[in-house]
Chain A
Amino acid sequence: MIVGAYRDACADGKFVISGEIGPPKGVKAETMLHHIDMLKDKVDGLNVTDNQSAVMRMGSLAVSGEIVRRGGDPIFQTTCRDRNRLGLQSDLLSAAFLGITNVLCLTGDHPVIGDHKQAKGVFDFDSVHLIQCCKKMNAGADWEGNELDGATDFFVGAVVTPEADPIEPQMYKFARKVEAGVDFFQTQAVYDMDNFRRFMEQAREITAGTKVKIMAGLVVLTGLGMAKYMNRAVPGIFVPDSLLEELGSVEKEEQLRKGMEIAARHIRFLRENKVCDGVHIMAIGREEIVPEIIAMSGASDA
C-alpha cells in the first residue's frame, strides 16, 4: 500500500477495505507500530483516530505521518471538538506537508464522554463545514478565501450512522455532506445487514449522480459481553438478537473467533451482493486479527 492507495482503490471501483489504528495513551508506540506494519499492506487505507471517545491520546496527525513514512496510506481523522477553524486548517496544511492525502471529517464526541470532562468543547466548525473547508483548500484557498501558496489535494471523507434513531435528521445531514462535496463515507458500525441494505437504498438515492463511495463500518464483536455493551451504551449501534445468540452459543474463549466469523461473513455478504463499496474494519486494540478476517471473507483474493 502506498500513499494515494485508498483514493485509487475507490476510483478503480474495487471493494475497498480499510483498517484502523488507535494511537497510544503515552509515548510507547511499539504495539501501534507493529499493528501498522502488519496491516498496511493488507488494506487499502488505515484510519487513525483523533482522541477517540474524547479520551486524550497521541495525535492522529503525527501517527498518520508515520504511516506515510512506513509506506502505508493513512486516513487522517480530524474532529471539530478540539480545534477552532484556525487550528483545523493549520493541521490540514501540516497533514498535506506530511504527505497525508485522506482526511475523515468528524464532529467528535463531546468532552463529557471522555477522560477530560471539564474541557471546553470547541465545535467552531461542524463536520459539514470541515468538508467544505477541505474542498476550498483543494481549490487553493483557505476558508476565508485567502490564496494558499500551494493547494492541498485531499480525498475527503465523512461518517454517517445508519442505525441512528430517528434516522430522518441523520439523512438530511448525510445529504448536506454529499452537497459539501465529500468523496467517501465510512459508516458507524452496522450489524443488521437487512437494515443496512435499506439504509443503502436511501443513501444511494441521495448520492445518485455523484462518485461518492460508501464503506460499511464493521466493529468486530470480541465477545457476548462486549456485544451487549455496544447495544446498550453506544448510540447508533444495534446488534440484533440473532448475533447475540450466535455469540452466546459458544464458550467464552471461542467468542472472539465467532465474532471474527461474523465480521468475515458480513464482508462477504456486502461484497458479493454489491450492497456498498467497501468496508472499514475496526478491531479496537485487536488489530492483529484483521488480516485473518479479511482472508476468511475471501475479499483478499478479489
Chain B
Amino acid sequence: MIISKKKPAEEIIQALEGETKVIVVGCGECATVTQTGGEKEVAEMKAILEEAGKKVLATDVVHTGCAELDVKRVLRQHKEAVKDTEAFVVLSCGAGTQAVRAATDKHVIPGTDPLFLGNIRRSMDFIEKCSHCGACVIDEYGAICPVTRCAKGLLNGPCGGTDHGKCEVDPEMDCAWVLIHEQLKKEGREDKRTRIHGPKEWNVIRRPGELAEAREKVGAAKSGGE
C-alpha cells in the first residue's frame, strides 16, 4: 500500500492562487485506506476549497487512482466540468496525481504528501519494509530487508550507531541489524552472516522504471520472426 499524508490545506489553496474553478479527485485504494483521499476526505477538501472561495465543479473517487484508463474513463463522465475547470486537486499518491496529469492538460495539484510503500500493522498504523530495489535479497537476511529497514541500507552488518538495539537515527526505531541477527538465530541460519554481500546493483532496473510485459512479448515475437 502507498502511504501518504494530507498536505496542509493552505498549501493547496496557495497553489490555486488566481484560479477559482476546480475538480477534486480521490482514490478508492491506498488513499482511502490511509484516509487521505477517500470519499470522506474528498468531501472535506470540497468544503475547505469552497470555504476559501473556490468553485468545486465536480468531485469523484476513482476506483484505482493509478490506473490511467480508469482515471480517463471517470473524467469522461464529468465532461463539462473537465472542460470548464481551471485546476484539479488530486488526493492520492503521486502516481494517482500523474494519472490525472496523463488525462488532462490543465493545472494538476497534489493534495497529499506520499511517504512510502507501507505495510498495514493495524488501522492507520503503517511501516515501511520494502523500497522495491529491483532485486530482492532478503532471503539472506531472515526476510528482514536491510536495504529499507536499516537507515543506511547496510548489507554486511550494523554500523557503530546501534544503541541498545536501537538505531542512531531515531532512538524509537529498532536497529534492523539487531532484528536480522535475532531472526537468523531463531532460524538456526546464522551461517548467512558468514559471507560478504556485494553492494546493490542500482542498474538492475532503469529508473524511471517501466515494465510492459505485453509490449515486450510483441517485441520478442517480432525479433524472433526476423
Contacts and interface: CB of A to CB of B under 8 A. Distances in A.
Interface of A: 80-81, 85, 107, 109-110, 112-113, 121, 123-129, 132, 159, 161, 164-166, 168-170, 172-173, 175-176, 179-180, 188, 235-236
A141 B129 CA distance: 36
A67 to B, nearest CB: 25
A159 B160 contact: yes
A161 B180 CA distance: 19
Given A124-B199, A169-B178, A172-B193, A112 B158 contact: no
17 contacts: A107-B154, A110-B151, A113-B168, A124-B202, A126-B155, A129-B156, A129-B198, A161-B162, A164-B158, A165-B164, A166-B162, A169-B158, A169-B177, A170-B158, A180-B196, A235-B163, A236-B162
B6 interface: no
Given A166-B181, A175-B194, A126 B199 contact: yes
B163 A110 contact: no
B152 A188 contact: no
B53 interface: no
Contacts of A123: 152-154
Nearest to A160: B160
Contacts of A81: 152
A85 B201 CA distance: 11
A169 B160 contact: no
B160 A166 contact: no
A128 B181 contact: no
Interface of B: 151-165, 168-169, 177-178, 180-181, 193-194, 196, 198-200, 202
B160 A107 contact: yes
A126 B156 contact: yes
Question: Per DSSP, are chain B's interface residues mostly helix, strand or loop, or mixed?
Answer: loop
Given A85-B199, A109-B168, A129-B199, A172 B160 contact: no
Nearest to A161: B160
B165 A173 contact: no
Chain B CB count within 10 A is highest, among A81, A112, A121, A235, for A235
Given A235-B160, A236-B163, A172 B168 contact: no
A165 B151 CA distance: 17
A173 B199 contact: no
Given A110-B151, A172-B194, A235-B168, A165 B162 contact: yes
Contacts of B194: 172, 175
Nearest to A126: B154
B159 A107 contact: yes
A128 B196 contact: yes
A110 B152 contact: yes
B98 to A, nearest CB: 23
Given A85-B199, A126-B156, A165-B163, 19 more contacts: A109-B168, A113-B161, A113-B168, A123-B152, A123-B153, A126-B152, A132-B196, A159-B160, A161-B160, A169-B177, A169-B180, A170-B162, A172-B181, A173-B158, A176-B196, A235-B160, A235-B162, A235-B168, A236-B163
A112 B152 CA distance: 11
A122 to B, nearest CB: 9
B5 to A, nearest CB: 18
Chain A CB count within 10 A is highest, among B155, B160, B164, B193, for B160
A176 B156 contact: yes
Nearest to A111: B169
Nearest to B177: A169
A85 B159 CA distance: 18
Chain A CB count within 10 A is highest, among B161, B168, B178, B198, for B161
A170 B198 CA distance: 18
Contacts of B153: 123
B154 to A, nearest CB: 5
A91 B168 CA distance: 27
B152 A107 contact: yes
A188 B168 CA distance: 15
A119 to B, nearest CB: 13
Chain A CB count within 10 A is highest, among B157, B169, B180, B200, for B157
Given A128-B196, A169-B181, A176-B196, A112 B169 contact: yes
A176 B198 CA distance: 12
Contacts of A173: 156-158
Given A123-B152, A176-B156, A164 B168 contact: no
A81 B198 CA distance: 17
A207 B154 CA distance: 23
A230 to B, nearest CB: 13
Contacts of B168: 109-110, 113, 235
